[in-house]
Structure 1
Amino acid sequence: MSEEPGSERVVAGRYRLLSPLGEGGMGTVWRARDEVLHREVAVKEVRAPGGLPGPGAERMYARLEREAWAAARVSHRNVVTVYDVATEDGRPWIVMELVRGIALSDLLDTEGPLSPQRAAHIGAEVLAALRAAHEAGVLHRDVKPGNVLMSNDGRVVLTDFGIATVEGSSALTMTGEVIGSPEFLAPERALGRTPGPGSDLWSLGVLLYAAVEGNSPFRQDTPLSTLRAVVDEELPVPRRAGPLAPVVEGLLRKEPAERMSAEEAERDLRLVSAGGTPRTGTAPYTPTAVAT
């Protein structure tokens, strides 16, 4: 990283960091300027979790770099565009389009629970992004309101593909730090199983529940108790979801094979978004306990 006197930091001799846009457990997102193409971009500075040994951090950075390049293959209006993956100080810096707007998490904090119709519209757009990614062989693995951006131009944009979590890792690091967002993790991921597209669909179901109910269904006082609730507890009945309830319940089945398909969920979400009521063909929701 270079730094000229009196100027902002410059990554890879090209991306000038201007101001932080947000910070999380895996790094900081910066508003930056591409000095070559003369445009503003978002740059994610990735950092390994505290306590991860050197070789483990190196493997994680290499994996994240591959995942970021995989995400760059996904071209869709609801997916944040990855422009570049720069390497600086042995770490990947992911360069993405700068989406001007507000995160869904901030919108919920400001306005409170959404109407089923509005939540369905957002959910349908997120699901369209997920379907495009899954068709390209890319899993998101951290679908949550903080990773959904409501753009000023009306787009709903899903960001942070393959960056916040790493496929194949357990839910906890050796230091006991939770990777990702426990309340949005699918049961199979909480149990350390290999995730698939159905894991992203579960997370979308939690997002929809939180959007209309005002709280996520399995959140507890600690990360470990939250993971236990995700695996063992029955889904609290959604009381504000209205016509969205069958989709939420269909996506939040404990066993991946029993979940509503992405195609069916998107169809019903579009219908609810338009003011209709879905006639879902799925069986009535029955809570399914997952054996530990």
Structure 2
Amino acid sequence: MSENGSEQTGGELIGGRYRLGERLGQGGMGVVRRATDELLGRPVAVKTLALDSGADPGGALREARVVAQIRHPHVIVVHDVVEHDGLPALVMELVDGGSLADRLAAGEVLTPREAARLGLDLLDALSAAHARDVLHRDVKPANVLLEKDTGRAVLTDFGIASLPGATTLSRTGVFIGTPEYTAPERMQGGDAGPASDLWSLGALLCAAATGTSPFRRDSIGAVLHAIVYEEIRPSERMGPLVPVVRGLLERDPDRRLGAAEARRMLAACAAGEPPPVSSYTPTARETVPSAAPGRSARTPGTTTAGDPGAGRRSGRAVPIVAAAVAVCVAVATVAVLRAVQGDPATGAPAAGPGSTSAASTPGRNAPATTPAPASAESDPEAYEYREVTDVRGFTVTVPYGARRSTDGERVIYTTGDGAVRVGIRIRPVPSGGAIGVMRASDASGPTDYPGYRDATVEETTHKGLPAARWEFGWNGFTPAEGARHTVDVCWEQDGTLYDLWASAPVPRAEEGRSALDTALDSFRTTGG
């Protein structure tokens, strides 16, 4: 073993000059090792293919040729291609430092200004590739190396890079890329251009500033659903990065933030300056990409960019082989199409795999009673309510027909018209307690909520327990969403902080308050 615990390879000499050393990393197709170029006396990195990986031997030569076209300080340099065990091996510059993925796995995240500087480096690297008509197609934290002495970011692994117009599936039926960092147009099998790499950069910036991808889910179907369908909202942790991330994660590639504007916005964030005025206008929140022209649906699901649901990381390649896998892909596709086009039986949007309906499995989210929806003669702004038992271990009363979604930390119930949202978050009581949480949220309000205004924070009680209440107005995340009013109440109980909030359009603020009061009065932990 080496001093850092890495496995030694025995000092094998390949290509007549490269002495292999310790293993630096390993992927599905092979390993990367530290090595010494004995002819020039310099350290290098050698990427060798695994004999049983099924990798195309021509892929290494292709990667070398692609990278050779792009001479840029933030793109990995390939020095040589030699033979190892009958397969080509790439000899590359050694970037002495781990990957961004390593840093995130260690529990470290970047500040918004650090993430902005990283984004500028990667944006320049991608622009250099795009100028040569090269798409990277796998921009993710594992493919970003961080040089420990200089902080230089280096984009690596162009193994699946392509020219624009390349198909999403390879000839062997293997998905190309990493699903949770893949743009929706590629997920839907459409044409991909430079804008697809910019989407991946937006997802990477979320991960850099918060610790994980905004689209991480437990299954490929759920990842697909989140990317193509669920509403995307910026995480409060990203601060001044929010505008540029929002623009990069625009689902319509023709309207997505371009490289020039992204560079201006990232440069301002890196310098600690206010974001410049952008020509980018977000797509209306209710509109999502459709598999059929002219079809759209309201979006009850929510993906908070940078605060995703928990789950295992999806792998780089997803083989589509055997009948069972084909069935899974078909089911996921049908779920997405239903989510986009709406449930034909009811005319309402379908919940889909990543956004479980509140009226799903009996005993889990099923209502204790099933009241009829409000009639046409009743107040159009009045809601009927029903009690649901959530899989997170609580029971609460929410508006009838509300759909359940989650971003990992919070459970959100959204009314069928998409207007009113009720959220629940449960966590250990942090330092400062309920009032400390609300005061901190208020302090970051101008950064987290566009047009933040008229805020009040007060210490109170809830059912005799220490509590705090935070109320404010803001502009909404998109012009189509419009001005909103939010009320948030959290309380401490047996070392746990329970946080319930409701958000509604300003003209319907009373509906939001009523929904929150109903949820607060009815909320109890399962069995409580």
TM interval, shorter chain, is 0.7 to 0.9
**Partner residue in 2 for 1:252:** 249
Following superposition, the deviation at residue 117 of structure 1 comes to 1.2
Amino acid at match of 1:291: S
**CA spacing shift, 1:49–1:245, aligned 2, 3 Å:** farther
**Partner residue in 2 for 1:281:** 279
**CA spacing shift, 1:112–1:173, aligned 2, 3 Å:** farther
**Partner residue in 1 for 2:505:** none
Answer yes or no: is the 8 Å Cα contact 1:68–1:161 preserved in 2.
no
Structure 1, 203-212 or 79-88: larger mean CA deviation: 79-88
**CA spacing shift, 1:244–1:226, aligned 2, 3 Å:** same
Following superposition, the deviation at residue 41 of structure 1 comes to 0.5
Amino acid at match of 1:151: E
Larger-gyration structure (1/2): 2
**Partner residue in 1 for 2:179:** 182
Answer yes or no: is the 8 Å Cα contact 1:32–1:42 preserved in 2.
yes
Answer yes or no: is the 8 Å Cα contact 2:233–2:246 preserved in 1.
no
Amino acid at match of 1:96: M
Which runs of structure 2 are paired with 1:97-246 in the superposition (5 Å)? Answer: 97-164=93-160, 168=166, 170=168, 179-246=176-243
Structure 2 residue aligned with 1:16, among 16, 19, 30?
A: 19
Which runs of structure 2 are paired with 1:31-46 in the superposition (5 Å)? Answer: 31-46=34-49
Distance 2:93 2:170 in 1: 31
Answer yes or no: is the 8 Å Cα contact 2:234–2:245 preserved in 1.
no
**CA spacing shift, 1:231–1:85, aligned 2, 3 Å:** farther
Distance 1:166 1:9 in 2: 33
**CA spacing shift, 1:131–1:94, aligned 2, 3 Å:** same
Deviations 1:159-183 (A, max 9, x none): 33421566635358857x6543211
**CA spacing shift, 1:139–1:165, aligned 2, 3 Å:** closer
Structure 1 residue aligned with 2:82, among 83, 86, 106?
A: 86
Following superposition, the deviation at residue 236 of structure 1 comes to 3.4
**CA spacing shift, 1:108–1:30, aligned 2, 3 Å:** same
Distance 1:243 1:121 in 2: 13
Distance 1:121 1:90 in 2: 41
- SS at 1:127's partner residue? helix
Distance 1:248 1:161 in 2: 24
Following superposition, the deviation at residue 141 of structure 1 comes to 1.3
- SS at 2:267's partner residue? helix
Structure 2 residue 69 is matched with structure 1 residue 73? yes
Amino acid at match of 2:75: V
Structure 1, 26-35 or 187-196: larger mean CA deviation: 187-196
Amino acid at match of 1:229: A
- SS at 1:256's partner residue? coil
Please provide the CA RMSD for this pair.
Answer: 2.5
Answer yes or no: is the 8 Å Cα contact 2:143–2:157 preserved in 1.
no
Following superposition, the deviation at residue 18 of structure 1 comes to 0.9
Distance 1:161 1:135 in 2: 18
Answer yes or no: is the 8 Å Cα contact 1:143–1:200 preserved in 2.
yes
Structure 2 residue 96 is matched with structure 1 residue 96? no
- SS at 2:33's partner residue? strand
Amino acid at match of 1:270: A
Distance 1:277 1:49 in 2: 52
Which structure has more strand as a fraction of its residues?
2
- SS at 2:48's partner residue? strand
Answer yes or no: is the 8 Å Cα contact 1:44–1:94 preserved in 2.
yes
Answer yes or no: is the 8 Å Cα contact 1:206–1:217 preserved in 2.
yes
Answer yes or no: is the 8 Å Cα contact 1:139–1:196 preserved in 2.
yes
**CA spacing shift, 1:286–1:207, aligned 2, 3 Å:** farther
Tell me the percent identity.
Answer: 44
Answer yes or no: is the 8 Å Cα contact 1:26–1:164 preserved in 2.
no
Structure 1 residue aligned with 2:29, among 26, 29, 43?
A: 26
Following superposition, the deviation at residue 213 of structure 1 comes to 2.8
Following superposition, the deviation at residue 227 of structure 1 comes to 2.5
Distance 2:49 2:273 in 1: 42
Which structure has more helix as a fraction of its residues?
1
Amino acid at match of 1:290: P
**CA spacing shift, 1:195–1:158, aligned 2, 3 Å:** farther
**Partner residue in 2 for 1:269:** 266
Following superposition, the deviation at residue 89 of structure 1 comes to 4.3
- SS at 1:32's partner residue? strand
Following superposition, the deviation at residue 196 of structure 1 comes to 1.7
Following superposition, the deviation at residue 85 of structure 1 comes to 2.2
Distance 1:215 1:242 in 2: 16
Distance 1:149 1:74 in 2: 17
